Amino acid sequence: MIERENPARVDELVGSVAPTDAAGVDTAVVLARAAQRAWAATDLAERCASVRAGADRVAAEIDDLAVLMARETGKVLPDCRGELGFAVTVLRWSADRAEQLLVDEVVDDEAGRLVVRRRPYGVVAAVTPWNAPIILAALKLGPALVSGNAVVVKPSPLAPFAIARVVALLGDAVGEHLVQVVQGDAGAATALVGHPGVDRVAFTGGERAGRALAALAGQSLTPSLMELGGNDAAILLDDADLGPDAMDRLVMATFATSGQVCMAVKRLLVPRSRHDEVVDAYRAAADRVLRLGDPLRDGVTIGPVVSHDSAVRVQGLVDAATARGAEAFVLGHVDEGTDLGRGYYLRPTLVVGAADGDRLVVEEQFGPSLPVLAYDSVDDAVARANAGDLGLAASVWSADEERAFSVAARLDAGFTFVNTHNRTGMALRAPFGGVKRSGWGREYGDEGVLEHTQPCVVHAPGAFRAGGAGLGAAAYPG
């Protein structure tokens, strides 16, 4: 049995759910495969209308779902409401874009008749993490469903409940067996991804799990989308705005969800000439916007980390850096009504003077700690930002937008923000994903919809149509 405690009050059980064994995974895939055939044959407009109806059902339960999500993840309640609302937007947006993107492309001219149809893969296995359990599932569910696929979701055992309800609501709207959930740990993910009835894999999560699932998918040549971790660098140029609005935005880009976000700021690179000024401005902003406490309490902006192991790991990174001579500054305030001893709480920390080789700098912290690194030139900043084998996101902060874009063009990142970072810099129209070992494939944007389709072509060359000039039997096309 999977039992999930509330990370803010670990003596409180949120709920329990039975894990899905291999036979249960097989049943889910078989049922999805049978349902998908009729779904793919359904008119595109009808599919889109059904997904919109599912979005409406989710929207009607946002308040209750947000409380459930806050209790199982430790995310603060306003963030949970925001994530659910944005997931509804993504579902509706997927349907809107599909009606534009998935129509047949037809060319009929002297070169011939060419038809390009966008066809679904079949059954999509969506393996999703705990830290944004609804939106990271919606980014797969919406595009896959409107494209004519069925989807089987395997959520994290750390956040199994809210997503199960969302999938049920969607299923009520689109039809039986087209969207299902299988619960469990790595064993359930392996059974799902390795199932011969799965036609595509869409994964968001850590590098270790990503490697294992990508290798498994590769054994059967199952195409995959992988959105993995990042060690995002934020580069402040020497003319960056250090005013309250910008600094508040930077702090929340670091510490939203207690820093447990793949695209959170993980390293802050600042000009040596402005180092102390940046540190002072950052600490002042943190005092304004960070209040650590129970996610369900009003005014709390940062909650606990997800587990005891996570707390130990992140604290260990900070301790190792300070043991080598770095200085750690505790940030923000503690909510007076919260008993920090009941949960997996870590005070958000700014670390000054860490070395480039420290694990705090080299590894993705995925927690509420941030190293500040002084650089001597823009070339130095770019080289250090590009160090390592991850390349999910980055940001450049400058009063000169053209200069910021010029520096951004030199960064090894799939998505570079300008004068912001993390979710405030996202846009539905902008494809998101990583380079290097941060994954492949894209979500968001038109690319995110097309990821779940295959272009299939019917072509009659003009040379062989009535009145055509013909072409030699061994000729290459002109």
Active site residues: 227, 262
Confirm if 261 and 228 have CB atoms less than 8 A apart: no
**Cβ neighbours of residue 142 closer than 8 Å, sequence gap 6 or more:** 51, 90, 91, 93, 94, 95
The residues, any chain, with a CB within 8 Å of residue 285's CB and separated by 6 or more, are 244, 247, 248, 250, 251
User: What's the CA dihedral at 173, 178, 184, 189 to 10 degrees?
Assistant: -140
Rounded Cα distance between 158 and 7, Å, is 10
Measured CA to CA, the distance from residue 77 to residue 10 in angstroms comes to 17
Question: Hey, how many other C-beta atoms are within 10 angstroms of the C-beta on 476?
Answer: 6
Q: Which of 383, 376, 375, 387 is nearest to 410 (CA)?
A: 383
Q: What is the DSSP letter of 422?
A: G
Instruction: Using alpha carbons, select from 120, 127, 135, 226 the residue that is nearest to residue 181.
Output: 127
Nearest to 186 by CA among 31, 22, 71: 22
Q: How far is the CA of 454 from the CAs of 37, 96, 100, 225, 326, in angstroms?
A: 15, 19, 16, 14, 51
Which residues are CB-neighbours of 153 under 8 A, at least 6 positions away?
Answer: 126, 127, 128, 137, 140, 141, 163, 167, 179, 180, 181, 182
Radius of gyration of the chain (CA): 24
Name, in order, each residue with C-beta under 8 angstroms of 372's C-beta and a sequence gap of 6 or more: 268, 270, 275, 278, 279, 282, 350, 351, 352, 354
Reduced to 3 states (helix: H, G, I; strand: E, B; else coil), residue 462 is helix
> Is the C-alpha dihedral spanning 411, 252, 5, 61 positive or negative?
negative
Does residue 290 contact residue 301 with C-beta atoms inside 8 Å?
Answer: yes
Residues 6+ apart with CB under 8 A from 133: 69, 73, 155, 156, 159, 162, 163
Q: Within its chain, how far is the Cα of 236 from the centroid?
A: 24
CB 385 within 8 A of CB 411: yes
How far apart are alpha carbons 340 and 443 in whole angstroms?
37
3 state DSSP class of 411: coil
